[in-house]
Amino acid sequence: MKPVTRRAALQLGLFGLAASRSARVEAQAQKPAWALSLVDAARKQIGVTTLYDPNYRRIPYPGGDVPADRGVCTDVVIRAYRTAFGLDLQKRVHEDMAAEFSAYPRDWGMKAPDANIDHRRVPNLASYFRRKGAGLPVSEAVGDYKAGDLVTQMLPGNLAHIVIVSSGFSKTAPGRPMVIQNIGQGAREDDTLFDFPRTGHYRFAPV
């Protein structure tokens, strides 16, 4: 075998550097800027929202919110879209429900939209995302879940839940993304994407 010359070694090094840069660019391309902004806005809620509080409250419309130290899983999503993009899911869901109320679940015996609570219910958010063409297949492949995706789950007791897929990854299962959620102890980043049955998968770009 011929010895590797200094020039050849340099070329190999440059090739390796280019390949590494290409891999990073490709990985970044799979995480559009808006998705990373959404994750960042969700992550900023950690340490701020420290309580799980599902109580019904009357809130302003549009732009209404419960106190920042509390909320439910949907509030993580709602606050993230507002903070990152100024996109108000309270207003959007209410307007869509007012236009086509029959397209939304009737699980709560509602006879008309209620801007105080409709957007804070997981099945309503899921219906809205589907109606806006954001639905994706529910997959068993970890690689199909990208940063900024929204995933609905069914918790024990038939409790509907929603999470934001994080840009961070599990320490015990390489490649498995973490999620940002409020599952009972305030906003947190957890490794629970595959811990509960997944009922929906959405990628809702801020348009």
SS3 of residue 49 by DSSP:
coil
Sign of the Cα pseudo-torsion (105, 107, 113, 117, in order): negative
Task: Return the CATH number of the domain spanning residue range 31-202.
Answer: 3.90.1720
Tell me: the pLDDT tens digits for 91-100?
Answer: 999 999 999 9
With tokens 């109320």, the residue in question is 101
Q: Where are the domains of the chain?
A: 1-28, 31-202
Q: What is the pLDDT of residue 95?
A: 98
Q: What is the pLDDT of residue 40?
A: 98
Confidence (pTM): 0.86
Low-confidence ranges of the chain (pLDDT < 70): 1-30
Q: What is the pLDDT of residue 116?
A: 98
132 token code pair: 């806006």
